[in-house]
Amino acid sequence: MDFFDKTTKAVRDIGNATREQTELANLKIQKAAIERRLESQYAEIGKRYVAYIADSFRTTPFDVSDILDAINPDLEKIAEIVGQVEQKEQQFRQHSIEKDRKKAVEQFENEKRKLDKAKDLDIITDLEYEEKLEKARKKFDNFEMLKKIQMQFEMDIINREEYEEKVRNILQ
């Protein structure tokens, strides 16, 4: 793959990620707008309740069914948006994992090419070649576990020492 192809691919990937992030942000904005609209309806329910309690004779029953009927579509829309947000976030995570997996494949292939060249030039022995290739293969084969450990570290679930120890244990 030449420089132009790599650049084009990188720009396309950035564009796709930006579009996904924009869609997600728009959904969150829609949700926030509906929630603001609902706040005024909730305030009206509160006002009616206070008026009802203040009416010591309570000649009329406490009724907010008109408000509940009005806010029901907004509540349904919020539930729909929450589902869409969760779906978009899941797609975004999946896309990120796929991108990382591709990167891991490329790293393994690059490492193998370097080792093949070094072996062909008699820079490393067959034994060194096999050991280094096995280590690279192990890293690639355990991509999922290493990714989870990295996420634990990034979320401050584990500290740096625990992270390094877990990675070391997997790669040995």
Number of domains composing the chain: 1
Q: What is the pLDDT averaged over residues 116-132? A: 92
pLDDT at site 1: 53
Q: Does some domain include residue 169?
A: no
- Is 12 inside any structural domain? yes
In a domain, 148, yes or no: no
Candidates 119, 151, 27, 11; CA nearest to 80 is: 27
What tens digit of pLDDT does each residue of 52-80 get? Answer: 888 877 778 888 999 999 999 999 999 99
Which of 2-6, 34-38, 124-128, 161-165 is predicted least confidently? 2-6
Q: In whole angstroms, how far apart are CA 66 and each of 6, 35, 47, 78, 105? A: 59, 18, 14, 19, 59
Query: Do 85 and 31 form a contact (C-beta atoms < 8 A)?
Result: yes
Q: Is residue 166 domain-resident? A: no
The CA distance from 93 to 163, in Å, is: 21
Answer whether residue 155 is part of any domain. no
Q: What is the mean pLDDT of residues 109-134?
A: 93
Residues 164, 171: Cα–Cα separation, whole Å: 11
Q: Is residue 153 part of a domain?
A: no
CA–CA distance, 128 with 116 (Å, rounded to integer): 11
Residue 16 confidence (pLDDT):
65
Q: pLDDT (tens digit, 9 = 90+) per residue, 20-58?
A: 888 889 999 999 999 999 999 999 999 989 888 888 777
Q: Categorize the per-residue pLDDT at 158 as very low, low, confident or very high, splitting at 50, 70 and 90.
A: very high
Confirm whether 108 is domain-assigned. Answer: yes
Domain carrying residue 120: 3-141
Rounded mean pLDDT, 4-28: 73
Q: Provide mean pLDDT across the span 141-166.
A: 89
Supply the pLDDT for residue 30: 92
DSSP assignment of the chain equals: --HHHHHHHHHHHHHHHHHHHHHHHHHHHHHHHHHHHHHHHHHHHHHHHHHHHH-TT--S----HHHHHHHHHHHHHHHHHHHHHHHHHHHHHHHHHHHHHHHHHHHHHHHHHHHHHHHHTTSS-HHHHHHHHHHHHHHHHTHHHHHHHHHHHHTTSS-HHHHHHHHHHHH-
State yes or no: pLDDT of 14 exceeds 70.
no
Tell me, yes or no, whether 44 lies in a domain: yes
Confidence of residue 18 (pLDDT cuts 50, 70, 90): confident
